[in-house]
Amino acid sequence: MRRAVFLDRDGTINEDPGYLGDPDKVFLLPTVGESLARLKNDFNFLLIVISNQSGVARGLISIDDVRKVNEKINSLLKKFNVQIDDFFFCTAHPDFNNEEDCQCRKPSPKMLFDASEKYNIDLTKSYMIGDSESDILAAKNAGCKSILVKTGLGKETFNALLSDNNLPNFVAENLKEASEFIINDFSGENFVK
């Protein structure tokens, strides 16, 4: 079985202007390219984006817009010699869709389960990195280790998780620190900044 690093998209990999549908507004966060390249090229992790994209249900962006943004992310990552292996996204929102349509929406682990089935991934040896409570809960619901990054909504999310006594396995300042934790954890070393 394979191992993966699952990643939220907006606020974790790229800047989050809200309901991102324009590829020209895609900007990678600092250290993302180098960090993802190290995880994939040096440690053979699959890189899979798991993303809620309710802007589609809200009529603000289209599925084609989501795909173009995903393509732009991989285009920007090319200069770091790395690519996201797959993008799973849920376009539903409970205010606009029925319960069945929303089954894929994080914190549901459905997208992680779907990716696991498609790529033969051992979820217990995999990680989920994100900036929202739904990312951390999806990881826990799927049996992955959870990492909160303080980029995007991460600082506010940390306070909410703290008050709910529902902390992730690790809290990182950014994707670089998250990737270092994964590498050290996977290698059986204690994490040192």
Query: Which member of 10, 65, 85, 135 is catalytic?
Result: 10
Single pTM value for the model: 0.95
User: According to the model, what pLDDT value does residue 142 have?
Assistant: 98
Query: Which member of 8, 65, 131, 135 is catalytic?
Result: 8
**H-type helices in the chain, by residue range?**
32-37, 63-77, 110-119, 133-142, 154-163, 175-186
User: According to the model, what pLDDT value does residue 10 have?
Assistant: 98
User: According to the model, what pLDDT value does residue 189 have?
Assistant: 61
Cα separation of 191 and 50, whole Å?
25
Say whether 24 is catalytic: no
User: According to the model, what pLDDT value does residue 193 have?
Assistant: 38
User: According to the model, what pLDDT value does residue 59 have?
Assistant: 96
Confidence of residue 125 (pLDDT cuts 50, 70, 90): very high
**Torsion, Cα of 14, 84, 62, 24 (10° steps):** 50
Answer CATH for 4-186 from 3.40.50.1000, 3.30.420.40, 3.30.70.1290, 3.30.70.1450: 3.40.50.1000
| Residues 133-158, mean pLDDT to the nearest whole number | 97
User: According to the model, what pLDDT value does residue 35 have?
Assistant: 98
Cα separation of 166 and 133, whole Å?
9
Tokens of 96: 């606009």
